[in-house]
Every structure is written in C-alpha cells, then in structure tokens.
Copies of this chain bind each other. A is one copy, B any other.
C-alpha cells in the first residue's frame, strides 16, 4: 500500500489543496504538457484510447509529406519501413521486461492473439485443452474459438473457462492443457494477476503461458523475462497513446523463436521476402510473427508517442498510478456512500491495475451524465463505470474534480433525465 502523503494518509483530511500539493511534488507532472487534452475535460478513459501527444501531429505530417510524398517507394529502404515493426517493437520491449529482437508489431490485437495462440498451441500437439477466463475481453475468447479449430482440426481443441466464482486455475490445470491465455489486468475490474506466480504454476504442468497485456503495458510493471513467460500480446492505443487502432505487439520468449509456427504466414514473415519464392519459409526470430504490409501511418503515430515513453521512469508510473487509484477509491468511499456505488476494483494495491470500476445499477446513464459534464470514463455492461488513471497526464486534482462532479451528478439525479437513457452505444 502506497500512502498518499503523510498529510493525506487519512482520507478524511484530503481536500483539493492536498491534491494540488501532491501534483506539485509529482515527478511525472511535467509530462502532462506533452499531451493535447481538450479544455474542460478530465480524461479518465486513457485505458481505452490514450490521449494525443502534442508532437504526434508534426511527426506524422513529416512521415506523410517526406517519407511517403517525396520518398515514395524508396522509403521502404531509405526510411527503414521494412524494419519498422521490429525497430518499434524494440522500443516497447523495455516496457514489458523483454529484450531487443523479441517484440514485433502486428495488425489488431485480435489478429496478433491468433498468431501467438496458434504458435503456442502447436508447441503442445499432444495436449487438447485451452484454458481462458470467462471474464476476458471477449475478443480473446472469440479468437480462441478459431484457434481451437485451427490447431485442433477435425477435432477442435477443448476450452476450459475459469471464473472468479470458480472453477479456478488450479481446478482446471492438468496434463491435457496445452495453453493458458490470461489477461494480466482485467479490462473491467482492474484486478491484476501475479504474472510470475501464475506463469510458474502453468508451466509446472507443462502448459504454455500466453499473456494479454492490453491493460498492463504502460500502466503497471511487467517483467516477462524474469517471469519466464512464453508469449504475450498487447495493445498500443491505450496507455501507450499510439492513436486510434494503432498496431498491436507480439512477444515470444527467445527459446520459442525457432519452433514457433504462427498460423498467419504472410510474406513479411518470410526468411527472404524479396526472393519471391513459391514456398513459405519463416524468417529466424520474432519476425516470423509478421504477416503482410504494416499500416505505416498508424505505426508512425505510435513511434511519436514512444518518444515520450523512452523518457519515462516506469517505477514512477506505478507509484503514481497507485496513488491516483487509491485517492479515487478513498474519495468515493468518503463522498459517495449514500448512492449505492460499489468499488469493484481490488483495494489491495498488489492486485490492482491502473483503473477503478464502480458498480451502479444505472451506471450507463450516470456515465453519460458525467461525460456531458466533461468527466470522461466509460461503461461496461451490465453495470460498471470504468475510470482509467494514466499517470502521464492525469493529476491528483483531476481525481478530486472527477469525484466532485460524480457526487453532483448522483446527488442531483440529473442522470435520470431521458437523454441519458441507454441506447445502442459503442463505447
């Protein structure tokens, strides 16, 4: 448990001035000015789509005007386009405890999970079970349905789902399990697995461990190497601020590189793509997880955001993240008790990511009213309001202001107005 400050360790004494003094002492505070946040907005949805780094516009425009417009086809060599997915991957490696040559960018996270999960399952051909979590972000389960069929063939692999209510991982692990796919930080509740401990347990049964780091990278410490994990995928448009739909990344432990056979075999993963041979031959190393031509403009925006991440102390991120989530939870406890708001996220910091979910029966309407007032979080069915705390641009004063507005929305019951009623919403 990280205490807010000595002065603030009793949540009853916190006020906005306390928050401002926490901001004044915050070593990450200067990063906020690197982002173009709209006036009057408290943005607590960076866990869904990260904010725009100010210099991304100029960087992207230069890539468009110079590398594409002037360099044209020559930029595949001259601007290093072909090598980009691995060069950018190397910059992400530090953020997840991986080494150079171990990370490569892919298409969407769904497509990349298909790559690593098929590669993982094919390493255990004699085993017939994939384990996943019922509460995973659903695309992971949807993709795994395809993996079960792709790898299993006429006899699709069996799926076993674990759940907070049981069965547990211990209940389902046995020698039939080929692969376990878990999300490090739960997309709804923010509950965080012990990455090293779970990896050890899974590998002890001979299974392969695949981590989904979508809600971890840039938010919490991840050390794949010291955990000895097998494979991972993650998303770059959340905490990493790569822009809407920026490319996912894939990681494979070096010990698996040469045996790995991911299911999508496009020419960018070929050993000699410009020999134009008829037969597929995977390139040595992580490059074999590549598929086709990468979407270079989306990748360029990600590169710009990594300029910021190159400067960031990850321990400071975790420390501030815990302070922000703890502050939010404390203020919710103190000020919102009257309105049936339940903190769903673990209060124990060791198992908490960088977001807090509040359960409220009418969470959808409350969130719409909040957004109208400039406090942007999101809603996850059936009844969760999610608030993401991104240490690079969310301040302690933001947390105070968000709870202020939330209290007012609940007390005034403005959320009962018909315009906030639920309809087919996207986010």
Contact = CB atoms under 8 A, between A and B. Distances in A.
A73 interface: yes
Nearest to A298: B295
Contact of A376 (B43, B56, B74, B292): B74
Interface string A55-74: 01100110011011110111
A263 B150 contact: yes
Contacts of A60: 60-61, 64, 297
Interface in A349-389: 371, 376, 378, 380-381
How many copies of this chain does one complex carry?
Answer: 2
Contact of A266 (B38, B111, B150, B266): B111
Interface residues of A, number: 90
A339 to B, nearest CB: 24
Contacts of A70: 38
Interface in A385-427: 424-427
A273 B295 CA distance: 24
A170 interface: no
B243 A64 contact: yes
Contact of A153 (B107, B154, B246, B425): B154
Contacts of A38: 69-70, 72
Nearest to A45: B73
Contacts of A150: 149-150, 263
A294 interface: yes
A51 to B, nearest CB: 7
A364 to B, nearest CB: 11
Interface of A: 36, 38, 41, 43, 45, 48-49, 51-52, 56-57, 60-61, 64-65, 67-70, 72-77, 81-82, 107-111, 114, 134, 137-139, 141-143, 145-146, 149-150, 152-155, 161, 237, 243-248, 263-268, 270, 273-280, 291-299, 301, 371, 376, 378, 380-381, 424-427
